[in-house]
Amino acid sequence: MTQVANELYWKYPNEPVVGFFRATEPELVIRDPDIVKRILITDFDHFYKRGLVHENTVFEPLMQNLFFAEGDVWKLLRQRITPSFTTGKLKGMFPLIVERAEKLRARTLAAAVKGKPIDARDLMARFTTDFIGACGFGLDADSLNEEDSAFRKLGIKIFKIEWKDIIKTVLKDMFPDLFRNLKVWTRIEGDMFDLVGEILRKRNHKPIGRNDFIDLILECQMKGTMKGESIEAKKPDGSPEIATLEMDLGLIAAQVFVFFAAGFETSSSATSYTLHQLAYHPEVQKKAQDEIDRVLAKHNGQLSYDAVKELTYLEWVFKEGLRMFPSLGFLLRKSTRPYFFPELNMTIDENINILIPLQSLHNDPKYFPEPEVFRPERFDPEEFDSNNKYVYLPFGEGPRACIGARLGLMQSLAGLAAVLSSFTVEPAPETKRVPTVDPKSSIVQSISNGLPLMFIERKE
């Protein structure tokens, strides 16, 4: 999808929007940041649908999650789960992150002493899987050390796109009415329900004070039925109906699934790509390492929530990596009713998909001069162009922005700091300067054949 959006973006450089057909459905690519803002924030009530699940399609339990869900299900879930990501809750999770970051350092050392290249993509995926195991599921997954960790296998299974999945997705896209009963997620549904059911039984369906995602979801469940004003149904007088939703096992499994899926692929993709860029920019890497050394010395050599908050330059480095290669290369929305664009003097119908091409916007020299150059200083608040607020959107924006953005940022910076405090990364003989994107990537972009790098231990 990112490649399609990118192609259309550069084909019509002077147009604010570009229309095309995805199979038989019309779709609109937005090239203008002001119109992006209108869709994501100003007129959000016209575009609250994500549009990733076809209307009237067969019910798939795992799709009832915060990322895929639509309408009232999305609104009530978002309302209930948002308090789970407060600063206090994130601080409570941080010791779990530090533990994993230390294991990441040890795993890297064990591999580095052999003097062979390490696949940064696989290394960071194992760190992320361990983190999700601990913060999400209350499990000590140890994917970093166990080659055949069951939890790591589940992560791979979720993102291993098989040919039959591609065929099912294409058929549903091209002939939605004919193939509405085709299920795409059956291959992991059973695994997910079994895993979540087992964890809930071990906890006796009650929070155990571990501050992980399962605890937070169980706290949400204990608050009882979710209630709120409907964004879909109106009374005859025009006021909203009241919508309700129960947090049952299916809904819990769906949220845990998306916590795993959204956290696993995005963070590991973003951190490994950042390491790849640092391997080719030793001066930037040295500057980031100097900052990490300085901050860790101040905090007794220990990573902590407060220490990570002080890694300003490392945050710019990570943001620049996300600019060049955003994990999600596009945002998708769908019109809920006809909508008039005053800038274009144009109206679109109900149920039109809207594609916001992040990869293209992030790499357009109009907004980021010399976009192919890796330059973290772009994100210095004194230099960052505030007009680019609706151009640079790696976590989305508005009411449907990523709920776990701060958690993802914190975990990613901790992982990068753990690696860079002990190792310097350099290109391996087989490293490709410009990695190839896997065209089978679905929502999250991934790279073909990993990211091999040399990890050289830093001496005291």
Q: Is 402 annotated as a binding residue?
A: yes
How does strand 25-30 pair with strand 118-119?
A: unpaired
Sequence-ordered list of residues with C-beta below 8 angstroms from that of 326, at least 6 positions apart, any chain: 358, 359, 362, 394, 445
How does strand 226-234 pair with strand 240-245?
A: antiparallel
Between helix 150-159 and helix 120-137 the angle, nearest 10°, is: 110
Evaluate whether 423 touches 108 at the Cβ level (below 8 Å).
Answer: yes
Sequence-ordered list of residues with C-beta below 8 angstroms from that of 374, at least 6 positions apart, any chain: 277, 280, 281, 284, 320, 321, 324
Residue in this structure with the two tokens 């150059």, named with its chain if needed: 373
Evaluate whether 124 touches 425 at the Cβ level (below 8 Å).
Answer: no
Single-letter amino acid code for the residue at 98: V
Distance CA 73, CA 119 (A): 39
Tokens standing for 109? 């050392």
Distance CA 107, CA 110 (A): 5
Sequence-ordered list of residues with C-beta below 8 angstroms from that of 95, at least 6 positions apart, any chain: none
Sequence-ordered list of residues with C-beta below 8 angstroms from that of 309, at least 6 positions apart, any chain: none
- CA angle (225 as vertex; 221, 228 as ends), nearest 5: 120
Give the side-chain half-sphere CA count within 13 A for 182.
19
Distance CA 175, CA 6 (A): 25
Evaluate whether 411 touches 391 at the Cβ level (below 8 Å).
Answer: no
**Residue 28, beta-bridge partner list:** 19, 354
Evaluate whether 297 touches 307 at the Cβ level (below 8 Å).
Answer: no
Evaluate whether 412 touches 267 at the Cβ level (below 8 Å).
Answer: yes
- Say which DSSP state 175 is in: -
Evaluate whether 108 touches 123 at the Cβ level (below 8 Å).
Answer: yes
Tell me which H or E stretch contains 104: helix 87-112
- Say which DSSP state 41 is in: I
Binding residue positions for heme: 402
Binding residue positions: 402
